[in-house]
Amino acid sequence: MNLSTKKRKALERMSNEVGVIAALAIDQRGSLQKMMAKEKKNVSDEDIITFKELVSEELTPFSSAILLDPEYGLPASRRRDSNAGLLIAYEKTGYDQLAPGRLPDLLQDWSAERIQKAGADAVKFLLYYDVDEDEAINHLKHVFVERVGTECLALDMPFFLELVSYDARQSDVHSKEYAKQKPHKVIEMMKEFSKPTYFVDVLKVEVPVNMSFIEGFGKDFVFTEKQALDFYKEQSEATDLPFIFLSGGVTAEQFQETLRFAKKAGSTFNGVLCGRATWKDGVEPFAEKGIDAARNWLRSVGKENLEALNRVLEVTASSWFDKVK
Domain ranges of the chain: 5-323
**Residue 75 neighbours by CB under 8 Å, 6+ apart:** 49, 52, 53
- The Cα–Cα gap between 123 and 115 comes to 7
**Residue 174 neighbours by CB under 8 Å, 6+ apart:** 210
Closest CA to 92 of 47, 139, 144: 144
Res 167: pLDDT: 95
Res 221: pLDDT: 92
**Residue 42 neighbours by CB under 8 Å, 6+ apart:** none
* Percentage of residues of the chain with pLDDT beyond 70: 100
Q: Which residues pair with 88 in a beta bridge?
A: 68, 123
Closest CA to 104 of 149, 132, 137, 133: 137
Query: Does residue 115 have a pLDDT over 90?
Result: yes
Tell me what the mean pLDDT of segment 59-66 comes to. Answer: 98
- The Cα–Cα gap between 166 and 185 comes to 8
Tell me what the mean pLDDT of segment 133-153 comes to. Answer: 97
Q: Are 65 and 71 in contact (CB under 8 A)?
A: no
Name the phi and psi angles at 324, rounded to 5: -125, 160
Res 249: pLDDT: 81
**Residue 311 neighbours by CB under 8 Å, 6+ apart:** none
Mean per-residue pLDDT over the chain, rounded: 96
**The domain 5-323: what is its CATH number?**
3.20.20.70
- The Cα–Cα gap between 312 and 166 comes to 28
Tell me what the mean pLDDT of segment 20-41 comes to. Answer: 94
Tell me what the mean pLDDT of segment 108-131 comes to. Answer: 98
Tell me what the mean pLDDT of segment 48-72 comes to. Answer: 98
- The Cα–Cα gap between 282 and 269 comes to 28
Res 98: pLDDT: 80
Res 135: pLDDT: 97
* Percentage of residues of the chain with pLDDT beyond 90: 91
C-alpha angle with apex 220: 214 to 224, nearest 5 degrees? 30
For the stretch 271-304, pLDDT in tens is 999 999 999 999 999 999 999 999 999 999 999 9
State the amino acid at position 313 in one-letter form.
Answer: L
Tell me what the mean pLDDT of segment 218-246 comes to. Answer: 96
- The Cα–Cα gap between 233 and 187 comes to 10
- Mapping DSSP onto H, E and C, the string for the chain reads CCCCHHHHHHHHHCCCCCCCEEEEECCCCHHHHHHHHCCCCCCCHHHHHHHHHHHHHHHHHHCCEEEECCCCCHHHHCCCCCCCEEEEECECCCCCCCCCCCCCCECCCCCHHHHHHCCCCEEEEEEEECCCCCHHHHHHHHHHHHHHHHHHHHHCCCEEEEEEECECCECCCCCHHHHHHHHHHHHHHHHHHCCHHHCCCEEEECCCCCHHHEECCECCCCECHHHHHHHHHHHHCCCCCCEEEECCCCCHHHHHHHHHHHHHHCCCCCEEEECHHHHHHHHHHHHHHCHHHHHHHHHHHHHHHHHHHHHHHHHHCCCHHHHCC
Query: Does residue 170 have a pLDDT over 90?
Result: no
For the stretch 181-227, pLDDT in tens is 999 999 999 999 999 999 999 999 999 999 999 999 888 899 999 99
- The Cα–Cα gap between 154 and 159 comes to 11
- The Cα–Cα gap between 80 and 117 comes to 17
Res 120: pLDDT: 98
